[in-house]
Amino acid sequence: MSSLRTVVVVGGGTAGCTVAGSLAMDENISVVLLEAGADLGNGQDRDFFQVLKNKDDSISHLQVSLTETSSTANYLQAKGLGGGSAINAMVSLPGHADGYNEWAREFGCTEWAWASVAQAFDGLPLALHRPNDDELGIMGAALLECIPQAQRSPLAWHNGRQSAAMFLDQDSRKGALEVRLNATVSRVVIKDGKAVGVELSEGNIIPADLVVLCGGALVTPQILWASDIARPAIGSGLQDHPAVMLGTVLNAPAADGFVVTAHAFIEIDGVADAGQIMAYNYVGDTSRTLGGLGVALTHVWSRGKISTDGSDVKIQFNMLSDQRDRQAFRSLVRQAAKLVATGGLSKLGLDWTCDDKATPCGVLLEMQDNELDSWLMSNLGHQSHPVGTCRMGEFEDALAVVSHRGQVHGTSGLWVADASVFPKIPRANTNLPVTMLASRIAGFILDFCRS
Ligand SMILES: Cc1cc2nc3c(=O)[nH]c(=O)nc-3n(C[C@H](O)[C@H](O)[C@H](O)COP(=O)(O)OP(=O)(O)OC[C@H]3O[C@@H](n4cnc5c(N)ncnc54)[C@H](O)[C@@H]3O)c2cc1C
């Protein structure tokens, strides 16, 4: 690399902090990280519902439709330095190898096959914590006892929450790094087909040699539209993990501690890790007497979209619109209901219910497919794992927005490195996969700068 390059990173969330910190390791790069929110800090609170309450002014409440027929509902996203990693439940899993091999097989993203990403996961400078016996809580311990493949969940916790902001504090940094908080980017400035800077909402222009978008899967498409980038697929391909909660009233209030401490992946119809059951020691109620199982479909076929008519933005997930998802989710929910109604978890002496009318979970086992589908549609939730709205693929692929290395097709100097570019949602919670992806795209950007 001959001269100093200025890279502007838009969004200081999980991906943005990882990219900015990684690029700033190079002495020839000067990074400006622009984050719309405040510094969310790291914090010692293990209870993620408490973190959400404490940081309520640092959360975006978006309105979305989860299914094709549902009315809009509140959908949480982080706003502040560290992004999702500063407020989430800290569960840190890579996702099943087959999921990444699908990226390679179905979307031609051969550099993202498991053999390559496994190395990248191993290289991340994270110290994860597996809850010890005293930290497991009632639900965590019960799940481990009742499901043979259940595991203690690795958590992004090491003497406190490990937010992605830790990537900004590396001692061996050689390049310059400036972090600007409360800086909302409205668009990328494009000149002759090249990104040359960004415009802040108050009108200031910040010049750049390269711009990396990391606003998250629900914001990055909006910045691309505002910048007059004309790839028709921007906003399509939206995914999250559909989820429902089976709840129970505990015999005693849950102790302070980690909310989620154990999980089990479930194979469905021959697809490995197609479902996930997470043990919630507490679900955020003030009395701390409600626990539950979060039951989520992790291998997902349905696709939604984020769209705009030029003024309003519409976010539609279209969850369970693909009949393969309905079939798999029915199977998963029946397995979970059996576990609490007649299986191992029924022996805890607790009453398990499946909705806010306190309907016993056993009722789910008596439902025909169409009845269970209706129940799923009315009780459906999500995991705040939006991905896929600017997916990777070849230039000729009409549904791709960025190259396999994160470069926006048709515009030079412009990259996307956040959850938007996943072609298919990983079969696990998304924070660790986003960290891996952002760290690899930072490496590709460095290769580009050095070439
Ligand atoms: C409540 C909650 C719980 C979760 N629990 C888990 C979990 O336990 N385990 C797990 O693996 N995953 C979890 N996740 C998901 C995980 O945190 C996300 O997948 C991850 O944070 C996505 O990273 P990202 O960088 O794409 O987006 P984000 O981390 O959301 O970062 C986007 C950043 O961009 C900023 N921004 C947005 N617009 C602009 C703009 N115009 N200008 C400047 N900055 C902007 C935002 O303020 C934000 O800081 C959870 C998410 C939430 C919200």
Residue 332 has pLDDT above 70, yes or no: yes
- Rounded to the nearest angstrom, the distance between the alpha carbon of 217 and the centre of ligand 1 is 9
Residue 69 lies in a domain: no
Confidence of residue 4 (pLDDT cuts 50, 70, 90): confident
Distance, in Å, from the CA atom of 312 to the CA atom of 105, rounded to the nearest integer, reads 36
Q: Is there a domain that residue 372 lies in?
A: yes
pLDDT greater than 60 at residue 260: yes
Q: Report how far residue 91's alpha carbon sits from residue 89's, in angstroms, rounded to the nearest whole number.
A: 6
**Domain ends where: 340, 363, 379?**
379
Q: Is 417 a pocket residue for ligand 1 (Cβ < 6 Å)?
A: no
- Are residues 275 and 409 located together in one domain of the fold? no
Tokens for 270?
Answer: 């021959």
423 lines ligand 1 (CB under 6 A): no
- DSSP element (H, E) containing 100: helix 97-107
Is 151 in the same domain as 167?
no
Decide: 77 in ligand 1 pocket, CB within 6 A: yes
Query: Atom 2 of ligand 1 has which residue's CA nearest to it?
Result: 88
Mean pLDDT on 23-33: 96
Widest pairwise Cα distance in the chain: 69
For residues 418 and 292, what is the distance between their CA atoms, to the nearest angstrom? 31
Final residue belonging to a domain, choices 379, 406, 423:
379
pLDDT over 70 (residue 214): yes
Ligand 1 close to Cβ of residue 214 (< 6 A)? yes
Asked whether the predicted pLDDT for residue 98 surpasses 80, the reply is yes
Q: Do the Cβ atoms of 386 and 204 come closer than 8 Å? A: no
The answer to whether residue 329 is domain-embedded is: yes
Return all residues near 134 (Cβ < 8 A) that are at least 6 apart: none
The answer to whether 27 touches 231, Cβ cutoff 8 Å, is no
Residue 56 lies in a domain: no
CATH of the domain at 327: 3.30.410.40
Q: Indicate whether 336 belongs to any domain.
A: yes
Q: How far is the CA of 39 from the centre of ligand 1 (A)?
A: 14
Please tell me the predicted confidence (pLDDT) of residue 42: 80
Q: Helices (DSSP H) in 124-185: which residue ranges?
A: 137-146
Asked whether residue 349 is assigned to any structural domain, the reply reads: yes
Q: Ligand 1: does its nearest atom lie under 6 Å from the Cβ of 147?
A: no
Cβ of residue 264 lying under 6 Å from some atom of ligand 1 = no
Which protein residue's CA is at the shortest distance from atom 17 of ligand 1?
84
Could you say which DSSP state residue 65 is in? Answer: B
3-state SS, 357-376, equals CCCECHHHHHCCHHHHHHHH
Which has more pLDDT, 170 or 299? 299
Q: How far is the CA of 76 from the centre of ligand 1 (A)?
A: 9
Domain C-terminal end among 329, 349, 379: 379
CA distance 49 to 45: 9
Give the SS3 label for residue 212: strand
**Band of residue 2 on the pLDDT scale cut at 50, 70, 90:** low
The pLDDT assigned to 23 comes to 97
| Pocket perturbation via mutation, ligand 1, pick of 52, 180, 214 by most ligand atoms within 8 A of CB | 214
One domain, residues 283 and 344: yes
Protein residue whose Cα sits closest to atom 21 of ligand 1: 84
Shared domain check, 343 and 365? yes
How far does residue 312's CA lie from ligand 1's centre (Å)?
22
223-to-24, 185, 234, 235, 416 alpha-carbon distances in Å: 24, 8, 10, 11, 11
Beta strands in 172-303 (DSSP E): 176-180, 185-191, 194-200, 205-207, 210-213, 236-238, 242-249, 260-268, 271-280, 290-297
Nearest Cα residue to 254 out of 278, 286, 295: 286
Q: Is the pLDDT of residue 349 over 80?
A: no
Examine the domain organization and report whether 10 and 104 are in the same domain: yes
d(CA 78, ligand 1 centre) in Å: 5
Span 9-27, pLDDT tens digits: 999 999 999 999 999 999 9
pLDDT, the chain, mean: 95
Rounded-to-integer distance, Cα 323 and Cα 414, Å: 37
β-bridge partners, 296: 243, 276
Residues 165 and 153 in one domain: no
Q: Is the same domain home to 419 and 326?
A: no
Q: Are residues 13 and 120 in the same domain?
A: yes
For residue 52, give the ligand 1 atom closest to its CA: 1
Whether residues 394 and 267 share a domain: the answer is no
Domain count, the chain: 2
Do 82 and 220 have their domain in common?
yes
Residue 390 tokens read as 């600017």
Residue 93 CA: which ligand 1 atom is closest? 11
Residue 308 lies in a domain: no
CA–centroid distance, 315 to ligand 1, in Å, is 16
The CB of 87 under 6 Å from ligand 1? The reply is: yes
Say how many Å lie between the CA of residue 179 and the centre of ligand 1.
17
Distance of alpha carbon 111 from alpha carbon 349, whole angstroms: 50
Report the pLDDT value the prediction gives residue 185, as an integer from 0 to 100: 98
Q: Is residue 309 part of a domain?
A: no
Burial tier of 49 (Cβ tally within 10 Å: 0-12, 13-18, 19+) = middle
For residue 388 and ligand 1, the question of a CB distance below 6 A is answered with no
Same domain, 425 and 287: no
With vertex at residue 155, the alpha carbon angle to CA 337 and CA 9, rounded to the nearest 5 degrees, is 115
- How many angstroms is it from 380 CA to the middle of ligand 1? 21
What mean pLDDT do residues 164-192 have? 94
Q: In sequence order, what are the residues at sequence separation of 6 or more whose Cβ sits closer than 8 angstroms to the Cβ of residue 106?
A: 423, 424
Region 415-444 average pLDDT: 98
Q: What local confidence, expressed as pLDDT, does residue 328 receive?
A: 98
Residue 375: predicted pLDDT: 96
Residue of minimum CA distance from atom 31 in ligand 1: 13
- Using only the alpha carbons of the chain, give its radius of gyration: 22
263 in Cβ contact with 243 (< 8 Å):
no
CATH number, residue 99? 3.50.50.60
Tell me the per-residue pLDDT of 289-330, one tens digit each, with 9 for 90 and over: 999 999 999 999 999 999 999 899 999 999 999 999 999 999
Q: What angle do CA 217, 219, 224 make, to 5 degrees?
A: 100
Q: Yes or no: say if 186 and 382 are a contact pair by the CB < 8 Å rule.
A: no
End-to-end CA distance of the chain: 7
Same domain, 337 and 249: yes
Range of the domain at 420: 5-47+77-90+93-127+161-237+387-450
